[in-house]
């Protein structure tokens, strides 16, 4: 009989832990359980009794009928005897199906995240059609034995739009493809807000501090027969959870612990979105852990940004469909004929959104033109244009031009009701969100609706308030060295603006920034700024033949230009787009044997890519 009682007690413990939401392992768990039991049953049972019941305290202990009855009542049985009778019939209140269904409490998290993401995405959500590659990737991932996957791309590629569309189509919409799967979508920018408001949804706490002993899923891992489908966790915007690098690293390490825990667990799937910088941080922490790396689906852990990014730019057929859906007056072919090079601009989802939001283009068009026109049509247009501009200026002053943060407290930004501020929120230049502290006080924060918009506006503010010079460019590298992503985005915008304004002399000498380590000693590396600046300069010269013919000879003449533009970050694609003049200019100023070998090798590649076998043979013979 004692053995039978032991079986029922183990069953009692298991059911209590399932209802409680985690394995009971310490005094804090027992105290919390005591409070829940007292609140629900109106019967007192002390935490010390529970500690002895779970063996946390090793002491002589005889289970009383009162204790067993109280624990059974907590499980909504009349008493201990009824629990035994129903156990024998395998007819518990917390049946296997109901245990799994309790995870559906996370639906409220998904609903709030969908609402938040759609608000930030705005009209772009309706203008961009679902992307076939993303749907195919999700389908293959769900069918695979892998645990995790990621959408990795810079800002503007539509990561949030993709996961929002996938969530609705596959899991939550009226005609969802997998309605029996449980999805928990988390908008990274409001993660802490969600945790504070939904403290009983324990799976959220796993994201901050994973402890497998207390994890909501421990019960299912130990009892796989309780699993009734798949649980898909989607975290959009890991970049937006923290601004401090140290905290981001801790979050990533916690995420990797979660993935490791679900090795060989087919019912759990994790999907994240992030930019290449965050993905590199994640990859660095897996260099020595091949097991964790093996759990990822369709991602690349090493290489340049182009190798890591796995969201393709929009294809022609996609752009055509979007233009048609949005009733654009010109066809895609007409646009390409009237505005050469426009395809390379609007194949980025955010740029396409700006294009559709803008007036009809006139003259040369670029991403800078689109952003400029968008600002003019929103911030600088009636109503309240002066007031809106003033609020934006105050915003940048408060966040110290992005050096301090990319968000400000609403209370600091506006001291009273402002119709101009409401207008900026309405047109989605800015958006706000709230964070609650431990004393239940609330702070509302404000930030730009898109990082691309923020970096462009910031670049313009910096240019307006500083003299355009080499020292100004150097100050960007120095001042934003602790925020590499923002540093690179500012540099991209400033250089594009320099090309637009044809600031020839500054562009001629721009590589002198890096001559003779012409930066402060505490800037230990500037490989990333070098790469970004050289890449943008190369791309802009492709579009501007006039400036290209002026700048190439200057870069060939200077030591830093030869080293950076022609050697270290040489763009092989330019060999196909242009003749070998670039290389000839280089050779005028460097006649060393190494330089000659290098140049003839590059020319060989040029002619090979251009399928000019006769010239290939000549360069081969020279080399």
515 and 444 part of one domain: no
Residue 484 lies in a domain: no
CA 18, CA 174: separation in Å to the nearest integer?
30
What pLDDT, on the 0 to 100 scale, is given for residue 237? Answer: 93
Residue 483 lies in a domain: no
Residue 411 lies in a domain: yes
Give the range among 340-344, 473-477, 580-584, 617-621 with minimum mean pLDDT.
580-584
What would the mean pLDDT of 411-428 be, rounded to a whole number?
Answer: 89
- Count of C-beta atoms within a 10 Å radius of residue 381: 12
pLDDT confidence band for 518 (50 / 70 / 90): low
Which pair of tokens denotes residue 534? 């050289």
pLDDT digits (tens, 9 = 90+) for 472-515: 999 999 999 888 889 999 999 999 999 999 999 999 999 988 87
Domains identified in the chain, total number: 5
150 and 239 part of one domain: yes
Is the pLDDT reported for residue 363 higher than 60? no
331 and 431 part of one domain: no
Residue 58 lies in a domain: yes
What pLDDT, on the 0 to 100 scale, is given for residue 93? Answer: 44
What pLDDT, on the 0 to 100 scale, is given for residue 490? Answer: 95
Contacts of 119 (CB under 8 A, 6+ apart): 428, 431
Residue 461 lies in a domain: no
CA 497, CA 491: separation in Å to the nearest integer?
10
CA 339, CA 342: separation in Å to the nearest integer?
6
Give the range among 83-87, 240-244, 313-317 with minimum mean pLDDT.
83-87
Residue 486 lies in a domain: no
172 and 254 part of one domain: yes
Give the range among 142-151, 211-220, 393-402 with minimum mean pLDDT.
211-220
- Three-class DSSP labels, 288-351: CCHHHHCCEECCCCCCCHHHHCCCCCCCHHHHHHHHHHCCCCCCHHHHHHHCCCCHHHHCCHHH
Whether 108 and 198 have beta carbons less than 8 Å apart is answered as yes
Is the pLDDT reported for residue 161 higher than 70? yes
218 and 255 part of one domain: yes
Give the range among 308-317, 331-340, 523-532, 611-620 with minimum mean pLDDT.
523-532
What pLDDT, on the 0 to 100 scale, is given for residue 317? Answer: 94
What would the mean pLDDT of 30-51 be, rounded to a whole number?
Answer: 91
pLDDT digits (tens, 9 = 90+) for 189-202: 888 888 777 766 66
State which of 331, 349, 378 marks the end of a domain: 378
What would the mean pLDDT of 405-416 be, rounded to a whole number?
Answer: 89
303 and 160 part of one domain: yes
| Per-residue exposure over 291-308, b if at least 16 CB sit within 10 Å of its own CB, e if not | ebeebbbebeeeeebeeb
pLDDT digits (tens, 9 = 90+) for 253-299: 999 999 998 888 889 999 999 999 899 999 998 887 888 999 999 99
Domain of 541? 466-477+495-622
What pLDDT, on the 0 to 100 scale, is given for residue 78? Answer: 87
Name the pTM for this structure: 0.70
Mean pLDDT of the chain: 84
* pLDDT, greater one: 433 or 429: 429
State which of 308, 327, 362 marks the end of a domain: 308
426 and 353 part of one domain: no
195 and 294 part of one domain: yes
Is the pLDDT reported for residue 559 higher than 90? no
User: What percent of the chain is modeled with pLDDT above 70?
Assistant: 89
* pLDDT, greater one: 5 or 555: 555
Question: Following CA atoms 248, 250, 251, 255 in sequence, which dihedral angle do they give, to the nearest 10 degrees?
Answer: 130
Question: Residue 567: which of 428, 296, 519, 558 has the closest Cα?
Answer: 558
What would the mean pLDDT of 120-131 be, rounded to a whole number?
Answer: 82
Residue 198 lies in a domain: yes
Residue 62 lies in a domain: yes
| φ/ψ of residue 434, rounded to 5 | -115, 145
303 and 426 part of one domain: no
258 and 296 part of one domain: yes
pLDDT confidence band for 336 (50 / 70 / 90): confident
300 and 181 part of one domain: yes
Question: Which burial class, exposed, middle or buried, applies to 530 when counting CB atoms under 10 A from its CB (0-12, 13-18, 19+)?
Answer: buried
Supply the CATH number for residue 132's domain: 3.40.50
Contacts of 514 (CB under 8 A, 6+ apart): 526, 530, 560, 564
43 and 119 part of one domain: no
Give the range among 116-125, 166-175, 321-330, 377-386 with minimum mean pLDDT.
116-125
Q: Mark out the alpha helices in 145-244 (DSSP H runs).
A: 159-167, 191-197, 203-208, 218-222
* pLDDT, greater one: 474 or 6: 474
State which of 337, 362, 378 marks the end of a domain: 378
Q: Strand, helix or coil at 527?
A: helix
């Amino acid at each position: 009989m004692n053995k039978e009682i032991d079986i029922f007690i183990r069953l009692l413990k298991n059911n209590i832990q399932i209802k409680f939401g985690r394995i009971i392992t310490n005094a804090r768990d027992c105290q919390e359980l005591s409070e829940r039991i007292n609140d629900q049953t109106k019967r007192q049972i002390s935490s010390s009794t529970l500690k002895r019941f779970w063996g946390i305290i090793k002491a002589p202990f005889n289970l009383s009928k009162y204790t067993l009855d109280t624990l059974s009542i907590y499980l909504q049985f009349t008493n201990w005897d009824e629990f035994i009778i129903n156990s024998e019939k395998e007819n518990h209140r917390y049946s296997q199906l109901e245990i799994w269904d309790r995870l559906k409490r996370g639906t409220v998290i998904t609903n709030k995240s969908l609402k938040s993401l759609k608000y930030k995405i705005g009209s772009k959500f309706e203008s961009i059609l679902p992307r076939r590659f993303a749907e195919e990737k999700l389908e293959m991932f769900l069918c695979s034995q892998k645990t995790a996957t990621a959408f990795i791309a810079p800002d503007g590629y539509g990561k949030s739009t993709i996961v929002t569309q996938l969530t609705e189509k596959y899991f939550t919409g009226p005609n969802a493809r997998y309605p029996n799967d449980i999805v928990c979508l988390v908008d990274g920018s409001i993660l802490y807000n969600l945790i504070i408001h939904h403290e009983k949804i324990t799976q959220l706490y796993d994201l901050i501090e994973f402890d497998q002993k207390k994890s909501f899923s421990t019960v299912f891992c130990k009892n796989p027969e309780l699993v009734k489908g798949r649980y898909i966790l989607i975290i959009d915007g890991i970049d937006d959870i923290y601004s401090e690098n140290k905290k981001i690293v801790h979050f990533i390490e916690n995420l990797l612990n979660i993935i490791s825990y679900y090795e060989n667990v087919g019912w759990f799937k994790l999907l994240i979105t992030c930019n290449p910088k965050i993905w590199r941080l994640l990859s660095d922490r897996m260099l020595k852990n091949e097991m964790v790396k093996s759990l990822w689906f369709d991602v690349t852990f090493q290489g340049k940004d182009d190798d890591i990014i796995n969201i393709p730019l929009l294809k022609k057929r996609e752009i055509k469909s979007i233009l048609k859906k949005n009733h654009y007056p010109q066809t895609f072919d007409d646009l390409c004929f009237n505005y050469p090079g426009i395809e390379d601009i609007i194949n980025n989802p955010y740029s396409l959104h700006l294009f559709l939001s803008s007036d009809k283009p006139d003259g040369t068009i670029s991403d800078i033109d689109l952003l400029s026109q968008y600002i003019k049509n929103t911030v600088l247009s009636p109503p309240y244009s002066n007031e809106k501009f003033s609020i934006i200026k105050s915003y940048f002053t408060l966040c110290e031009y992005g050096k301090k943060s990319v968000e400000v407290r609403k209370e600091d930004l506006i001291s009273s009701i402002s119709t101009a501020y409401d207008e900026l929120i309405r047109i989605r230049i800015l958006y706000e969100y709230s964070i609650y502290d431990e004393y239940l006080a609330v702070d509302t924060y404000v930030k730009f609706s898109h990082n691309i918009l923020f970096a462009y506006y910031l670049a313009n503010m910096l240019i307006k308030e500083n003299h355009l010079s080499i020292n100004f460019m150097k100050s960007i590298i120095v001042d934003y060295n602790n925020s590499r992503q923002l540093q690179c985005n500012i540099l991209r915008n400033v250089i594009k603006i320099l090309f637009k304004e044809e600031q020839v002399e500054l562009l001629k000498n721009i590589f002198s920034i890096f001559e003779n380590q012409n930066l402060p000693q505490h800037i230990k590396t500037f490989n990333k700024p070098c790469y970004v600046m050289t890449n943008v300069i190369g791309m802009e010269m492709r579009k501007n033949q006039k400036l290209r013919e002026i700048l190439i000879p200057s870069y060939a003449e200077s030591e830093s230009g030869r080293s950076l533009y022609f050697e270290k970050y040489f763009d092989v694609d330019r060999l196909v787009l242009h003749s070998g003049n670039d290389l000839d200019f280089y050779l005028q100023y460097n006649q060393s044997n190494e330089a000659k070998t290098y140049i003839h090798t590059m020319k060989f590649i040029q002619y090979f890519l251009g399928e000019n076998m006769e010239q290939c043979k000549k360069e081969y013979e020279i080399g």
